[in-house]
Structure 1
Amino acid sequence: MLDATLYYTLRKAQPLRKPIRLPTLVMHFIILACVSVGSVSAFQETHVVVSPRAARIHNATFVFDGHNDLPYTLKKVASSSFVTMDIAKPQPSIHTDIPRLLQGNVGAQYWSVYVPAATAYRGAALLETLEQIQIVHAMIKKYPETFAAISSYQDIVRARRQGKIASLIGIEGGHSIEDSVGNLHRLFDLGARYMTLTHSDTLKWADSATDDPKHQGLNAFGEEIVRQMNSLGMIVDLSHVSESTMHDALDITKAPIMFSHSSARSVADHVRNVPDTVLERMPSNGGIVMVNFFSGFVDPEAAKIMSTMFDVSRELRQKYSDDDEFDAAVKRWRTANPYPRGTIYDVVDHIDHIVNIAGIDHVGIGSDFDGVSKLPVGLEDVSTYPRITQILLDREYSKRDIDKIMSGNMMRVIRQVERVAARR
C-alpha cells in the first residue's frame, strides 16, 4: 500500500487547474528560454506531496495500465529468465518489478507482447509473438501469489477480490498475425485481448502513422480484421495507426476501441498522438485513450524532435536489417539529438485535454513503461502513479473522476466489448 507521506521534489512551474486547453505551450516557452534541453535545474523547486486524502483515494481504486513492455525487456536484458532477473526483488535497471507495482497500486495490466515490425519481413513475426506470450504465461506461473491470468471482465473482478494483479495480453502490431485471420483467432485463444492494428510499418491491410500510406486507412482485409476482432471480443487498438486508419476503424467497429498508449496531438504535435477530430468521436464509440508517458510524445518540444527521429529511423531501417544494428543506430542519433524529458505535469495536461474534448469517460493510463527510452520527471517507474492522483486532485478532479481515469473507464470498455461479441 502507498505510504501517505511519500513525496518527491520536482523542479517545475506550479501546476495549472483544469479545465485547460493549451496547458504546456506557454510554460515550455518560458522553460526553453532559461534552461538547456533536458535540464530541470532551473525550474522552480516544488514539493508535490501525496497527501493522506490522495493516498486513500488512490488505494480505494486501482491502476489499470494499458501498456507495459516488461516481456520484451525481459527478453532483451535477461534472456526471458526470471532466474536471471527475479522481478519479485527490486530491479532498478528497469521500470517494473513486483515491489513497485504494489507500491503504485497497479491492479490490472495489459502486458505488451511486442515484436519488431521487421520480424514480418523474415517470416518470424508470429513465432516471436508466441514466444512473448509464453513469457507472460511463465511470469504468471512463476509468481502466482501476485499475478492472475485473465480472459474476461469477470476474471478481472475475481483477481481484484483475491488481491492479485489482473494480467492481460496485448498484441502490439498487426504484423504479428502475418496477414492471417486464423492467426488472429489463435492469438486470441492464447489470451490476447487487444491488438494494435499496426506498429511502425504500414501493413498490406492498414496504414501506420509512421510509414508511407498505401491504403488511405484500411483496405477490405483490414476492415475484415476489425469485424473479426469485434466477433472475438478482442479490442481494436488504434495506437500507432494513421489518422485515416483511426477513422476507418471507427466507421466499421461495432465495439469500443482503445488507444493503449497514445496522448493528445493538440498538446504535443506528433503523429503517434490522437488528433481532436478522433477525440471528438470517442463519446459515440465509447472508446478510451490511454495516455502515454514517453517524453517524446508528451513534451511539446520533444515531440518536434521525435517527429524528425521517426523520419530518420525509417531511413536507418533501410540501411540496417539487423534489429540490434538498427537499435544501435537509432540510439546514436538520439544521443546526438537530445530532447527534454518533460514532467509529470505534462502528462496530466494530456489527460486534461482529452477530458475537455472527449469527456471524463474516455481517458485512461497507458504508460509504456519498459518500452521507452526517456520518461518525464516524476514518472520514473511503476511506483509513481499515486503522484498523478495527487495532481488530479490539485486540479479539482473528483474521487469518481480519478476512479474512472485509473481503471473504471477501461473496465467499462472491456465489458462493452464482451457484450458486443456475445451478440455476434
Structure 2
Amino acid sequence: MFILDAHLDLSMNALEWNRDLTRPISEINAREKGLNDKPDRGRATVSLPELRKGNIGLVVATQIARYVAPGNPLPGWHSPEQAWAHTQGQLAWYQAMVDQGEMSQIKNWKELEAHLASWNAATDKSKHPIGFILSLEGADSLVNLDYLEKAYDYGLRAIGPAHYGPGRYAHGTDASAPLNSQGKELLRKMDELGMILDATHLCDEAFWEALKIFKG
C-alpha cells in the first residue's frame, strides 16, 4: 500500500529541534535523553528511515515561520523579513536532503507520476528517496506578494494562509477576523500560479471567504 502523509514539519524538527532525520528513531531519541529544552524530548516519532518502513513514499513537507506583532504572546519572529530568512534555512535543509538522495522534491504532475512509478517498482525501499511536495504553513513569511513568485520558483506548491492566532494575511486557530485585502490578493495570485490552498488553520470567517474567492 502506498501512503501519503499530508502534513509533516520535517525541516522544523531538523533545524529547531536539532534532529538528524536521516537516522532511525531509536538513535534520535537516545541522543535526546536528559534534554528538557523542548516538550517531548526523547519522544520523536518520525524520521526518513521510519517513513520508508511504513511505506510512506510521499509527504507534504512544510516550511513554517510566524510573524508576531508587539503584544502577540505566541512564539515567532519580530519581522516578516526574519520569518522569510528562517523559511529559507528550512528550504536549505530540504535541498540538502535532495542532494544526499534522501528526498525528492515534486513540483508538477510529471514528477509526481515518475516518483510513484519509481517507488512502486522498487523492491528495497530502505534507500529510496521520500517524495515531498513543499507547503508553507502560515503565509506570514511572504514579505509581500513578489515573494510568492520567488517561492513558487523554488518549488513551493501549497500554502496555508494562516496558522495559529492573528496573521498578516489571515487569522487562524484561536483567532477570528475576515480576510484582509492582502489575504484576498494572495488567494488570487495563488490561483494564477496554480497553487494548492491549505485551509486547515483558517478561522471560520476567513475559511468561508476563501472558498468564495479561490477557484483552484
Shorter-chain TM-score: which interval? 0.7 to 0.9
- Deviations, residues 23-50 of structure 1 (Å, cap 9, x unaligned): xxxxxxxxxxxxxxxxxxxxxxxxxxxx
**What's the counterpart of residue 244 of structure 1?**
205
Unaligned runs of 5+ residues in structure 1 are 1-58, 256-424
The letter for the 1-side match of 2:8 is N
CA distance 1:223–1:116, change in 2 (3 Å):
closer
Q: Which of 166, 182, 195 in structure 2 is aligned with 1:221? A: 182
Greater than 4 Å deviation, 4+ residue runs: none
Unaligned runs of 5+ residues in structure 2 are 30-43, 69-75, 120-128
Give the alignment of 1:107-126 within 5 angstroms: 107-118=57-68, 119-122=76-79, 123-126=81-84
The letter for the 1-side match of 2:25 is Q
Structure with more of its chain in helix, by fraction? 1
- Deviations, residues 360-408 of structure 1 (Å, cap 9, x unaligned): xxxxxxxxxxxxxxxxxxxxxxxxxxxxxxxxxxxxxxxxxxxxxxxxx
**What's the counterpart of residue 148 of structure 1?**
104
Give the alignment of 1:26-37 within 5 angstroms: none
- After TM superposition, the score normalised by the length of structure 1 is 0.41
Q: Secondary structure at the match of 1:177?
A: coil
- After TM superposition, the score normalised by the length of structure 2 is 0.78
Q: Which of 78, 85, 91 in structure 1 is aligned with 2:25? A: 91
Q: Distance in 2 between matches of 1:174 and 1:135?
A: 19
Q: Please tell me whether the aligned partners of residues 117 and 201 of structure 1 are also in contact (alpha carbons under 8 angstroms).
A: no
Matched, 1:103 2:49: no
Q: Distance in 2 between matches of 1:155 and 1:149?
A: 8
CA distance 1:166–1:90, change in 2 (3 Å):
same
Q: Secondary structure at the match of 2:5?
A: strand
Q: Distance in 2 between matches of 1:116 and 1:174?
A: 8
The letter for the 2-side match of 1:234 is M
- Deviations, residues 324-379 of structure 1 (Å, cap 9, x unaligned): xxxxxxxxxxxxxxxxxxxxxxxxxxxxxxxxxxxxxxxxxxxxxxxxxxxxxxxx
Give the alignment of 1:10-409 within 5 angstroms: 59=1, 62-78=2-18, 85=20, 87=22, 89-92=23-26, 93=29, 94-118=44-68, 119-122=76-79, 123-142=81-100, 144=101, 146-163=102-119, 164-178=129-143, 180-211=144-175, 213=176, 216-255=177-216
Q: Distance in 2 between matches of 1:244 and 1:235?
A: 19
The offset of 1:86, in angstroms, is 5.6
Q: Distance in 2 between matches of 1:71 and 1:134?
A: 9
Structure whose CA Rg is larger: 1
Q: Distance in 2 between matches of 1:105 and 1:155?
A: 19
The offset of 1:120, in angstroms, is 4.5
Q: Please tell me whether the aligned partners of residues 161 and 169 of structure 2 are also in contact (alpha carbons under 8 angstroms).
A: no
Q: Please tell me whether the aligned partners of residues 210 and 240 of structure 1 are also in contact (alpha carbons under 8 angstroms).
A: no
**Count of residue pairs brought into register by the alignment:** 183
Q: Between the two proteins, what is the percent identity of the paired residues?
A: 23
Q: Secondary structure at the match of 1:176?
A: coil
Q: Secondary structure at the match of 1:109?
A: strand
Q: Distance in 2 between matches of 1:226 and 1:175?
A: 14
CA distance 1:71–1:204, change in 2 (3 Å):
closer
CA distance 1:76–1:220, change in 2 (3 Å):
closer
The letter for the 1-side match of 2:85 is L
Q: Distance in 1 between matches of 2:21 and 2:142?
A: 31
- Measured on the aligned residues, the alpha-carbon RMSD in Å equals 1.8
Q: Distance in 2 between matches of 1:114 and 1:153?
A: 24
Q: Distance in 2 between matches of 1:68 and 1:141?
A: 20
The offset of 1:162, in angstroms, is 1.8
